[in-house]
Each structure stands twice: as C-alpha cells, then as structure tokens.
Amino acid sequence: MASFKHLLANEYDRQQTQKRGGGKAHLSLEHEDPETRYRLEPADPATPEILFERRWALTVLERAVERMREEYSAAEKADLFEELKEFLSNQKASPHEALATKYGISVGAVGVTIHRLRKRYAEVLREEVSHTVSTPDDISDEIRHLIASVGR
C-alpha cells in the first residue's frame, strides 16, 4: 500500500512539472462537462484502502477454501466438498436430508460432517492468517479484521 501511495505521489509531481504544462489549465476537447457525464453514476464510498483490504481478505479466504478442496480431493471426496462448502458461509445450503439421501448416510452424520468441515476450515484459516502476522497473538485480531473487511 505504501508503494502504491509513493507511486501516486511521484505521478502527481511529474504532472506538476513546468515542462509538461504543470500548473496550467487544460483545455478540454469535449463539449460536455465531466460532472454532468458522471452525475448519474452510482456513488461508491469505498476508498482504495478499503478495496485493497477487502481484496486481501477475500484472497486469504479463497486460499483457505482451496486448501480444503485439495484435502478433500486427496481423500477422493471432492464432490462432497463442493456440496458442503456452502455450509462455510451464510449462503442458502442444501437441506441435510437431501445430502444424507445422496450419500447414503444419516442426517446426523451429515451434521457431524458439516461441524468437522467448519472446524477444519477454522484451523486452515488460522494457519493462512499466521503467515501474514508477526506473532501468534495477532492471529485472532487479524481474523476479526479480515471478517470486518469482507463485511464492508
């Protein structure tokens, strides 16, 4: 983020130099006022920092899901994971009864499997976040920040 801010500052300095017309008003070749053109665009209150943090948070979550997918694929249960991953988020998931019937297990076993999936996902997510913090004590705070970034 700091590098990006330095890049923007350097670009601003470059545009202000006298050789390139810095400080002079530019004559627009368009007849339409830019404000008029963009007035109907929806306002987005997200700053570049918020967008950067949201993208980072989604990347960490995607990496955790991808690791879970690899683990289930290694155990030859990739199709089960694809159906159960809906239970990792607040998305509307398939009813337990339908999954029990499809895989020939009890409804209780589906519930236990989902519980284990969520527990393992939490472990994998903590491992992913641990790579981004300096001390293990910061992991919980970073996960809270990650969730807040996605929720914005």
Tokens of 116: 């284990």
The answer to the question of residue 21 being in a domain is no
Tell whether 97 is covered by a domain: yes
This prediction's pTM:
0.65
74-131 per-position pLDDT tens digit: 999 899 899 888 888 766 666 888 888 988 889 999 999 999 999 999 999 999 999 9
Residue type at 22? G
Q: Domain for residue 17, yes or no?
A: no
Give dist(CA 138, CA 148) in Å, integer. 15
Q: 119 lies in which domain range?
A: 46-151
Q: Is residue 20 part of a domain?
A: no
CA distances from 140 to 3, 64, 136 (A): 27, 16, 8
Q: Is the residue at 18 inside a domain?
A: no
The number of domains in the chain is: 1
Q: Are 38 and 134 in contact (CB under 8 A)?
A: no
Domain assignment present for 31: no
In a domain, 75, yes or no: yes
